[in-house]
Chain A
Amino acid sequence: MLNVLYFASFREILGQAQEQLPADYQTVDCLLKDLAARGETWQQALLHNQNLQIAVNHDVANRQTAIKAGDEVAFFPPVTGG
């Protein structure tokens, strides 16, 4: 299984903070395409969002990053702390 997390505005737009998904994706991009199939909101927030930020196991990642069972994948907007 994959642990998928959504933060900040993504959490609000997508209506959830966290979910468990089967780990049958080779890369983040494959996971994104599957999530985008859920509808317009998911497409806009994730797949077609130039500002999408990705982390895999707490490290900055990108769409080509490989993922496997047990990984934690997080999606969020650009950070604004400080």
Chain B
Amino acid sequence: MFPHICIQEEDFDLSTEAAKLREGHKDIGAVVTFVGTVRDINEGDEVSILELEHYPGMTEKALEKIRLEAHDRWHLEASHIIHRIGKMYPCDQIVMVAVASRHRENAFHAAHFIMDYLKTNAPFWKKETLPDGAERWVDARVSDKEAESRWAK
């Protein structure tokens, strides 16, 4: 078994993680993976560095709650969430969600749900550094909250 939730500074390799997810499962018909990456532009400004802060303890708990709810709603066979923290640069990978289920419909929905909930419910905060050295915290988006609300039961 591998940990289902990883908060880490290190980068990750999607193929390796997807292979770990499928290991020992002969009942999987669908694997859906999502990778979030750092954009070099936000709110019309060039971004040089993105720094991720989190709340140790609560982050793991919040992610596990989201993961288990996805299992409950879509009968997943396996799932894995990796979220990086610390300093990152444009094109870097920030987050990975991978889910495996018997059928693709469930896997697509579950991955989408986990990302939407993660955006509004897991305690991570982004801080951007612009090319002139100015720093600013990224504001929460109304669109993220709307994305979450579509999954309400």
* Contact (A7, B123) CB under 8 Å given A76-B55, A81-B52: yes
The interface residues of chain A lying within 8 Å CB-to-CB of B140 are 51, 77-80
The interface residues of chain B lying within 8 Å CB-to-CB of A77 are 125, 137, 140
CB distance from B133 to the nearest CB of A (A): 16
CB distance from B56 to the nearest CB of A (A): 10
Q: Which of B119, B122, B125 contacts A7 (CB 8 A)?
A: B125
Among A28-46, those with CB < 8 Å from B are none
Q: Which of A58, A59, A82 contacts B94 (CB 8 A)?
A: A82
The interface residues of chain B lying within 8 Å CB-to-CB of A82 are 36, 83, 94-95, 115, 118-119, 122, 124
The interface residues of chain B lying within 8 Å CB-to-CB of A20 are none
A74 in contact (CB, < 8 A): yes
On whether the beta carbons of A8 and B137 are closer than 8 Å, the reply is yes
Q: Which residue of B lies closest to A7 (CB)?
A: B55
On whether the beta carbons of B123 and A9 are closer than 8 Å, the reply is no
A55 in contact (CB, < 8 A): yes
* Contact (A5, B119) CB under 8 Å given A58-B61, A76-B125, A79-B124: no
In the docked arrangement, what's the CA distance between A80 and B55, Å?
12
The interface residues of chain B lying within 8 Å CB-to-CB of A7 are 53, 55, 123, 125
B126 in contact (CB, < 8 A): yes
* Contact (A80, B124) CB under 8 Å given A7-B53, A8-B53: yes
CB distance from A74 to the nearest CB of B (A): 6
* 15 additional A-B residue pairs with CB within 8 Å, beyond A8-B53, A80-B138, A82-B83: A5-B55, A78-B120, A78-B139, A79-B119, A79-B123, A80-B126, A81-B83, A81-B95, A81-B118, A81-B119, A81-B122, A81-B126, A82-B95, A82-B118, A82-B124
Task: Tell me the B residues contacting A by CB distance below 8 Å.
Answer: 36, 52-55, 57-58, 61-62, 83, 94-95, 115, 118-127, 137-141
Task: Tell me the A residues contacting B by CB distance below 8 Å.
Answer: 5, 7-9, 51, 55, 58-60, 74, 76-82
Q: What are 19 A-to-B residue pairs whose CB atoms are below 8 Å? A: A5-B55, A7-B53, A8-B53, A9-B125, A9-B137, A51-B140, A55-B55, A58-B57, A58-B61, A59-B61, A74-B123, A78-B139, A79-B123, A79-B124, A80-B140, A82-B94, A82-B95, A82-B115, A82-B122
